[in-house]
C-alpha cells in the first residue's frame, strides 16, 4: 500500500476507542503508527465493536470494509463517482448549546451539550449535562455511557469528587443494561471488573510496548493513569475460594475516623445472582503516616452466607522506609451465590492498619469499618 | 504499511470482528474529536482522495 500513500492517492487515519488518551499515544508510539489518530472516549461514532477498517472515497462515502491488503489493492483500482465533500464540521459553541438545551429541554440537547463540554475540557459541566439528559430520558443509553466517561475522567483529575469512580462504573453498567450488545461499553466495565468476567488482560501489551520503545532508544509516553489491579489482571476461569481473616471479631480495636480515607470501587455494584464482583479499596493516609514496622494493613471480616472470597491482594507493596504516606490499593473479588435472593446485600468488612500521628510521633493500630453495598438483581447487566 | 496496520487492528481484539451501524454506500458522518496531541480535528480535513479509516482499540 505504500505506493498509494506515497503518491497521495490514499490517506490513512484512525479512530481509537479508549478512555485514556495517553494509553492510545503509547500504543501508537509502540506500533509506530504515523497517521492521524483521533480519540473517541465518548464513543461518539457509536461503534459497538472494533476493529472496523473502512475505505471512504474522496467525498466521504463508505465504499468497502477491506479485510486484507489484497482487498484494499483491488479497491484502489476502482474509481467512484465524486460527490461534493461535506462542509467541515465545527464543534458547536457550548454557550449556544446550553441555550438550546434550556430551551428544548430534551435529552438529546443536553447530551449534545455534554459532548461539547467534555471535548473542551469542561468535566463538571459535562457531567451535569449528561445527568440532565438521563433525567429527561432514562432510556438514553448514550447519555449514561458518556456520563460514565466524564465521571471517570474527573475521578482521575484534580477536580475529583468523592464517589466519582463508583458513579462512573454505575453509569456504564446502566448503559450496558440498556444496550447489552454494545461491546465497546462492555469492555469499559470489564476493565475494572472481576477476573471471572475478563476475556483477556486488556493492557497486557504495555510492558512489552515500553521495552520495545526503550530498545529503539526512545522514551515511552508517560501514562497519567497507570493501569493497575483489575485493569492488568489475567482472567480467572476456575473458582478458588480463599479464607478471609477475622482477627477482631468483637470489634475491640479502636476505630479510626479521620486519619486514613478509604474509597471503595465496586464493579459492578448491581449484579445477578451467581455473578462476581471486583472491589478496589484505595487508602489515602491524609495527615497520618503508615507505620511500616508494625503488622501491616489487613482487610478482614466475616462474609455473609452466600458470599465467597475468590481473591484478596495488595496492589502496592509496603516500602522499605519505616514511615511513609503513599496511597495504597487492595483488590478483592467476591462471588455471590446463585441462590442469593434479589435485593440489597450488605457485606461488612473492616480494615486494620498501623499509622503514626506524625513522623516520630505516636503510632497506633486502628480499625475502620467498610460496608460494601450491592444490589442483587436477576435483570442486572451481565458483563461476562 | 498495510500488514502492520492490520496486525495492529486485527490482533488487538481477537474474536470480535462484526460491526453494526454505518453501512457501505452511506456517507460517513463527519466528526470532531481530539487527536493524540489533544487538538480537535475531524474527518472532513482528510477527504479529497481515498481514505482508509481504521476504527480500533489498543485493548
Query: DSSP H helical segments within chain A, as ranges?
Result: 2-6, 21-31, 69-76, 94-104, 107-119, 123-136, 141-155, 164-178, 183-192, 205-215
pLDDT digits (tens, 9 = 90+) for A30-61: 999 999 999 999 999 999 999 999 999 999 99
**Taking chain A, what is the end-to-end CA distance rounded to the nearest angstrom?**
38
Contact A16 B57 (CB under 8 A): yes
Contact A14 B55 (CB under 8 A): yes
**pTM for the full model?**
0.91
pLDDT tier, A226 (very low <50, low <70, confident <90, very high otherwise): very high
pLDDT, residue A197, reads 87
Chain A residues in contact with B9 by the CB 8 A cut-off are 50-51, 53
One CATH from 1.25.40.10, 3.30.9.10, 3.20.20.70, 3.30.420.10 for A94-191: 1.25.40.10
Question: Average of pLDDT values for A142-162?
Answer: 97
Contact B55 A52 (CB under 8 A): yes
Q: Out of B13, B23, B29, whose CB is closest to A51?
A: B13
Q: What b/e sequence results for A106-144 when a residue is b if at least 16 CB atoms lie within 10 Å of its CB, and e otherwise?
A: bbbbbbbbbbbbbbeebbebbbbbbbbbbebeeebbbbb
Contact B28 A119 (CB under 8 A): no
H or E, element range at B4: helix B2-11
CA distance B52 to chain A (A): 5
pLDDT, residue B21, reads 53
User: Facing residues of A284 across strands?
Assistant: A261
Chain B residue with CA closest to A50: the answer is B56
Chain A residues in contact with B44 by the CB 8 A cut-off are 60, 85-89
Is the pLDDT reported for residue A132 higher than 50?
Answer: yes
CA distance A365 to chain B (A): 41
Kindly provide the ipTM of the predicted complex, given to two decimals.
0.88
CATH topology of domain A236-376: Immunoglobulin-like (2.60.40)
pLDDT digits (tens, 9 = 90+) for B27-59: 999 999 999 999 999 999 999 999 999 999 999
Three-state DSSP class for residue A191: helix
Q: Worst-scoring range by mean pLDDT, A184-198, A212-226, A356-370?
A: A356-370
Three-state DSSP class for residue B11: helix
How big is the A-B interface in CB pairs under 8 Å? 218
For chain B positions 9-48, those within 8 Å of chain A (CB to CB) are 9-10, 12-36, 38, 40-48
pLDDT, residue B2, reads 44
Mutation site for B-interface testing, chosen from A25, A60, A222 by largest number of B Cβ within 10 Å: A60
| Residue A181, burial from CB neighbour count under 10 angstroms (0-12, 13-18, 19+) | exposed
Contact B6 A49 (CB under 8 A): no
| Residue A3, burial from CB neighbour count under 10 angstroms (0-12, 13-18, 19+) | exposed
Sequence ranges of the domains in chain A: 94-191, 236-376
pLDDT, residue B18, reads 38
Q: Out of B34, B48, B50, whose CB is closest to A119?
A: B34
Question: Average of pLDDT values for A215-223?
Answer: 98
Distances (CA, A) of B30 to A86, A89, A212: 8, 6, 35
Cell triple for A227 = 493501569
CA distance A270 to chain B (A): 25
Q: Are A286 and A258 in contact (CB under 8 A)?
A: yes
Amino acid at each position: 500500500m505504500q505506493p498509494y500513500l506515497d503518491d497521495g492517492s490514499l490517506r490513512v487515519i484512525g479512530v481509537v476507542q479508549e478512555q485514556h488518551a495517553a494509553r492510545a499515544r503509547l500504543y501508537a508510539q509502540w506500533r509506530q503508527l504515523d497517521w492521524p489518530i483521533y480519540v473517541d472516549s465518548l464513543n461518539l461514532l457509536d461503534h459497538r465493536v472494533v476493529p472496523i477498517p473502512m475505505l471512504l472515497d474522496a467525498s466521504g462515502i463508505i465504499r468497502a470494509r477491506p479485510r486484507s491488503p489484497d482487498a484494499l489493492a483491488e479497491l484502489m483500482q476502482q474509481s467512484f463517482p465524486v460527490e461534493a465533500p461535506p462542509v467541515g464540521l465545527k464543534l458547536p459553541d457550548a454557550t449556544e448549546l446550553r441555550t438550546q438545551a434550556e430551551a428544548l429541554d430534551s435529552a438529546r440537547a443536553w447530551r449534545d451539550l455534554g459532548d461539547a463540554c467534555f471535548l473542551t475540557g469542561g468535566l463538571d459541566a459535562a457531567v451535569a449535562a449528561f445527568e440532565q439528559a438521563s433525567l429527561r430520558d432514562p432510556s438514553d443509553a448514550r447519555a449514561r455511557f458518556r456520563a460514565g466517561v466524564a465521571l471517570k475522567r474527573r475521578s482521575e483529575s484534580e477536580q475529583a469528587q468523592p464517589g466519582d469512580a463508583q458513579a462512573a462504573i454505575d453509569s456504564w453498567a446502566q448503559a450496558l443494561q440498556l444496550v447489552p450488545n454494545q461491546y465497546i461499553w462492555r469492555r469499559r466495565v470489564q476493565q475494572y471488573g472481576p477476573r471471572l468476567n475478563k476475556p483477556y488482560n486488556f493492557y497486557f501489551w504495555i510492558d512489552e510496548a515500553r521495552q520495545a520503545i526503550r530498545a529503539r532508544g526512545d522514551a515511552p509516553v508517560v501514562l497519567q493513569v497507570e493501569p493497575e489491579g483489575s485493569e492488568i489482571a489475567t482472567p480467572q476461569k476456575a473458582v478458588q475460594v480463599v479464607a478471609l481473616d477475622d482477627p477482631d471479631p468483637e470489634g475491640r480495636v479502636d476505630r479510626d475516623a479521620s486519619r486514613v480515607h478509604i474509597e471503595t470501587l465496586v464493579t459492578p455494584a448491581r449484579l445477578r445472582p451467581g455473578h462476581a464482583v471486583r472491589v478496589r479499596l484505595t487508602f489515602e493516609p491524609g495527615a497520618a503516616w503508615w507505620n511500616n514496622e508494625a503488622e501491616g494493613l489487613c482487610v478482614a471480616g466475616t462474609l455473609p452466607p452466600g458470599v465467597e472470597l475468590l481473591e484478596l491482594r495488595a496492589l502496592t507493596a509496603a516500602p522499605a522506609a519505616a514511615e511513609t504516606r503513599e496511597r495504597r490499593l487492595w483488590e478483592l473479588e467476591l462471588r455471590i451465590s446463585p441462590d442469593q435472593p434479589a435485593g440489597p446485600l450488605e457485606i461488612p468488612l473492616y480494615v486494620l492498619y498501623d499509622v503514626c500521628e506524625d513522623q516520630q510521633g505516636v503510632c497506633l493500630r486502628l480499625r475502620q469499618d467498610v460496608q460494601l453495598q450491592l444490589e442483587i438483581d436477576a435483570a442486572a447487566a451481565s458483563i461476562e | 504499511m498495510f500488514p502492520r496496520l492490520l496486525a495492529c487492528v486485527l490482533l488487538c481484539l481477537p474474536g470480535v470482528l462484526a460491526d453494526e451501524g454505518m453501512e457501505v454506500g452511506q456517507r460517513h458522518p463527519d466528526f470532531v474529536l481530539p487527536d493524540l496531541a489533544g487538538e480537535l480535528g475531524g474527518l472532513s480535513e482528510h477527504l479529497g482522495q481515498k481514505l482508509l479509516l481504521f476504527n480500533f482499540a489498543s485493548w
